[in-house]
Structure 1
Amino acid sequence: MSAQLAAGTYRCRDLSRSVSAAVDAGVTWIDTAPNYASGSAEASLRPILDACPQVHVSTKVGFVPDTDRQAARAGGVLPGDHDRGHCLARPYIAWQLARSRSRLGRVPNLVFVHNPEHGCTDRTDLSQTLTEVFEELESAADAGGIDGYGVATWKGLSTGMFTAFDLLELAETVGGPRHHLRAVQLPVSLVHLAVVADGLDGRGALAAAREAGLDVFASAPLGGGELLGAMTEDLVRVIDSETSPAQAALLVALSAPGVSRVLLSASTPAHWADACGAAAREPLSPDRLRKVVDVLGT
């Protein structure tokens, strides 16, 4: 099954315009977080979600938006020793989930634990943190407060702080065979080709996630926009000579083994039309992906 495009909202300049264009283009998943758009992302999405019940939404727990800090302190859910801009204490998670549901106007389909490696000193520390987080998320799922959960990381999987199998084992320990762990989110792009190369060889984060039965949300497929300026004619030709530079870059993430959804922040209908053109193409073959890896290295 080919990966699908989803609307990402990180560093989105005009969130409502971008996501509206994505939905108009047929995108059916939006990914956000309480700390995006200076704390306004979730509330900005509500009119779109209200008008489009068929669209799924994922949000996150962990980071403390400046706009929420005072309210969290007043509610007694943000202890002073956790006030480092990131908090995964159970009271704060429960408080943040309730706030997200109110702002989004619905139960989120997925809630990602946002960069759980943040502030953890070692694997033991991280495992203890995730155990408490998974307990809270399993409780929320059992109560109908979320549909499922996952882990979104920038470097936790690539540095070996944890693996997809670690997450699955922990979820089964906490939630049993009917646990609600559903997905992981990590960067996959021409900038992060090592994860693609490992996936092609049947190892690494992508292969482990697939074996664990987890969906993979690929973040930053255009390298935060920096890739567009680096897409030379020669590089586009190596990937797919019949595509635009943006399409060629997106095709790498869309074709990476095990990837389910590719999160894109695109601001205009024209940009989304271009992106959808990439998603409509045949995925790059493993041999073509290996050629890209050989040309660029990891």
Structure 2
Amino acid sequence: MTARLGLGTYRCLDVCEAAAMAASQGADWVDTAPNYESGQAENSLAMVLGMYPDLHVSTKVGFVADSAKRLGVQAGALSAEDAERGHCLAPDYVGWQVARSKRRLGRTPDLVFLHNPEHHCASEEIADRLLVAFLALEEACSNGTISAYGVATWRGFSSGLLDVGTLLELASKAGGPQHHLRAIQLPISMVHLAPVAHALDGYGVLVDAVEAELEVFASAPLHGGEITGMITQELSDLIRPGSTPVQSALAVVASAPGVRRVLLSTGNREHWRQAADAVGQPPLSRETLRRITDVLGT
């Protein structure tokens, strides 16, 4: 299986503890954002990143943590209106926030995702919003503030507002043929099966990402923990006989064409071990994935 389990910190109450646990169990990636853990997630990760220099880290820019609003306005990087709105992808703010993230993490992040660029954005404005943000991120890559960037979205691809082809076109405008767009992040789960079904039919965001050599990060693989109450043992056995509902759900996500990282939010060591075992198994066959999408729909 090409997918690997990574730590997503959105739901982690103690990011430092969760990251230390995951790293001690062999995790090689942790994903965070400046607004997670009440605005302290990046600071919380710094100690763990120092202890595990081979642990990769991605963060985000877009949502403005409450603790950053006053500082951003004082720095001239954030307008009062955007601070009140709580989301900003203006170039001055992007540059200011990624530099702040690097300081707080104590190292250059491996990836910085634009965080839900579709947030309060009309369809006719999304291309311009992305282009100016990509320009700021390419500048950050050039000066060594970040290593690469991507787009993390909840509904951008499913709504049709975003597509991989447009992202590549805008990245090329911003950075030329050697642009630094490297990844996308989107929800894939037993609730969000459409990307999997489309990929089995040979089209869609996952197929496009593979062709573009973009890494795919699957977020919310358990849909906030709701999956366990939705999967019967009969369905679990259809997916992988003898597996638990959580393990079978993770197996589906990890087997989705093109998925490279499955981001699980947990601080529980046993939950992590079970998840790592599920993701580490051989991938489900396309026939099994097809049966699942046929049974559950998209």
TM-score range, shorter chain: over 0.9
Give matches, 1:270-289, under 5 Å.
270-289=270-289
**CA deviation digits over 1:212-258, x for unaligned, max 9?**
11110000000111111222111101110122221111001100001
Maintained 8 Å contact 1:34/1:100 = yes
Structure 2 residue identity aligned to 1:50: G
Maintained 8 Å contact 2:189/2:253 = yes
Structure 2 residue identity aligned to 1:28: D
Q: Which residue of 2 aligns with 1:60?
A: 60
**CA deviation digits over 1:88-119, x for unaligned, max 9?**
11111111111101110000000000000112
Query: 1:180: how far off?
Result: 0.3
**CA deviation digits over 1:92-151, x for unaligned, max 9?**
1111111101110000000000000112111x3110011100000001101111110000
Q: Which residue of 2 aligns with 1:88?
A: 89
**CA deviation digits over 1:265-298, x for unaligned, max 9?**
1221111110111022111111000111111111
**CA deviation digits over 1:63-83, x for unaligned, max 9?**
111111111111111113323
Gaps of 5+ in 2: none
Q: Secondary structure in 2 aligned to 1:261?
A: strand
Give matches, 1:45-124, under 5 Å.
45-83=45-83, 84-122=85-123, 124=124
Equivalent pairs counted in the alignment come to 297
Q: Which residue of 2 aligns with 1:254?
A: 254
Q: Which residue of 2 aligns with 1:184?
A: 184
CA distance in structure 2 between the aligned counterparts of 1:20 and 1:64, rounded to whole angstroms:
26
Structure 2 residue identity aligned to 1:53: P
Maintained 8 Å contact 2:253/2:262 = yes
Structure 1 residue identity aligned to 2:102: R
The two structures have a TM-score, normalised by structure 2, of 0.97
Maintained 8 Å contact 1:17/1:268 = no
CA distance in structure 2 between the aligned counterparts of 1:81 and 1:280, rounded to whole angstroms:
46
Q: Which residue of 2 aligns with 1:219?
A: 219
Query: 1:173: how far off?
Result: 1.5
| Superposition RMSD in Å | 1.0
* Percent of aligned pairs with the same amino acid: 52
The two structures have a TM-score, normalised by structure 1, of 0.97
Maintained 8 Å contact 2:11/2:266 = no
CA distance in structure 2 between the aligned counterparts of 1:215 and 1:252, rounded to whole angstroms:
18
Query: 1:39: how far off?
Result: 0.2
Maintained 8 Å contact 2:4/2:280 = no
Q: Which residue of 2 aligns with 1:195?
A: 195
CA distance in structure 2 between the aligned counterparts of 1:236 and 1:16, rounded to whole angstroms:
33
Gaps of 5+ in 1: none
CA distance in structure 1 between the aligned counterparts of 2:3 and 2:20, rounded to whole angstroms:
21
Q: Secondary structure in 2 aligned to 1:260?
A: strand
Maintained 8 Å contact 1:113/1:151 = yes
Query: 1:25: how far off?
Result: 1.2
Q: Which residue of 2 aligns with 1:155?
A: 155
Give matches, 1:260-271, under 5 Å.
260-271=260-271
CA distance in structure 1 between the aligned counterparts of 2:178 and 2:18, rounded to whole angstroms:
36
CA distance in structure 1 between the aligned counterparts of 2:228 and 2:42, rounded to whole angstroms:
28
Maintained 8 Å contact 2:164/2:205 = yes
Maintained 8 Å contact 2:34/2:101 = yes
Q: Which residue of 2 aligns with 1:141?
A: 141
Q: Which is further off, 216-225 or 68-77?
A: 68-77
Q: Which residue of 1 aligns with 2:295?
A: 295
